[in-house]
Amino acid sequence: MFVFFLAANAVSAQINKADSTVQVIAYWNKGEKQIYDLEKTKYKIKGTDTTKTNVINCRVAVTVLDSTANSYTIEWKYLYCKSSENNELYQKLNDLSKDVKFIYKISELGDFAELLNWEEISAFYREVFKKISKDISTEKPELKQLIKNLENSFCSREYIESAAIKDIQQFHFFHGIKVKLGEEITNKIPIPFPLTGSEIETDLTLFLDEIIEEDDNYIIRCRQIFDSEALKKVMGDYIDSLTKSMGAKKDFEFSKDMKVSGDIYTSALIHDSGWLVYGIHTTTMDFESSVTIEENTIEIVANE
C-alpha cells in the first residue's frame, strides 16, 4: 500500500520522534495524484433493532493542479458513485454526477481555504437536473416538486460551499494542527448543524493516538459533542421551518425532559507526506430512544 510514498522527501518530515509531536502538513508536488474509495452508510437504531438505510460507494481522484510557496490548488473528481437506495431519481442523480469536479485551494499546511469553481459546479448540476427531468416521468406533482427542490438545493452557493464539499472537508480535517503524543487539545467551537446550516456549539477533544514509525504514519482522533439544549433548539427551529414549508399543522413540541444529544467522531491514519491513508467520520444523533448514525469512510486505493 505504501509503495507510492517512497518518493516522499524525508527532510520534510511531519513526525518529530525526539519529542513525539506531529504537525499535519501537506508535502505535495504539482501533478501528484491519489485515488480514494469513499463509503457513506446510514443506520437507524430503535431499541435493539439496527437498520442500514442506505449505502453510497464512490471513487474519487485527488490531483495537485498547482503548488506554490503558500498554497496548493487541488482537483477533487468523482469517478463514480453507486447507491443502495432503491430510488430511480437518486440513482440517476448519482450516475449523472460522476464527472463533477471540485477545484479548491488549501494553505501551505494543507487545510482547506476556498472553493474556486462553485459557479461551474452549479451549472453542471443544472444540466444534470435537466437530463433527470427528461428521463423521469413527472406526471405526479409531488415528484415534480421534489426534483425542483433538489435542484434549488444542489445548485445554490450555500449548499455547494458547505454540504457538497463535506468529503473534502473530512479529507483535510486535521491538516494544519500540531499535537503531542499523550496530550489532549480541548476547545469549544461552533459548527454548522447538518440539517439547517445554523451554527451550534460543541465541546471538542482532539489527541494524537499513535505514531507508527515503521510506516511513517500516525493516527489522530477527535470527538465533538453538541450542546444538548442548543441542539434541541436548532432541531425545534428546523421542525417549525419544515412544517411551515409543507403547509402542515405543527403537532410536536420539545419538552424539557426530552433526551436529545449528538456527537461527531473523526479519526484518520495519515502518512508523513500529508496524504490521508484512511479516515472515518461518524455523526450520531440520539432523539429519545431513536438513534441515527451517518458513517463516512475514505480509504486510499493501493492499486487501481
- H or E stretch covering 3: none
Alpha-carbon dihedral 283, 175, 27, 214, rounded to 10 degrees: -70
Q: Is residue 116 part of a domain?
A: yes
Quote the CA–CA distance of 148 and 204 in Å, as a whole number. Answer: 38
pTM: 0.84
pLDDT at position 3 = 32
Residues 193-210, mean pLDDT to the nearest whole number? 83
Q: Is residue 3 part of a domain?
A: no
Residues 81-103, mean pLDDT to the nearest whole number? 76
Quote the CA–CA distance of 116 and 102 in Å, as a whole number. Answer: 8
Query: Counting beta carbons within 10 angstroms of the beta carbon of residue 100, is it exposed (0 to 12), middle (13 to 18) or buried (19 or more)?
Result: middle
Q: Is residue 153 part of a domain?
A: yes
Q: Is residue 5 part of a domain?
A: no
CA atoms within 13 A on the CB side of 251: 3
pLDDT at position 4 = 33
CATH of the domain at 167: 2.30.230
Higher pLDDT, 289 or 270: 270
Q: What is the CA radius of gyration of the chain?
A: 21
Q: For residue 225, give its domain range.
A: 15-300
Number of domains in the chain: 1
Q: Is residue 168 part of a domain?
A: yes
Q: Is residue 6 part of a domain?
A: no
Q: Is residue 120 part of a domain?
A: yes
Residues 215-219, mean pLDDT to the nearest whole number? 94
| pLDDT tens string 131-161 | 877 776 656 666 777 777 778 878 888 888 8
Beta carbons of 64 and 30 less than 8 angstroms apart: yes
Q: Is residue 10 part of a domain?
A: no
Least confident of 76-85, 92-101, 182-191, 215-224: 92-101
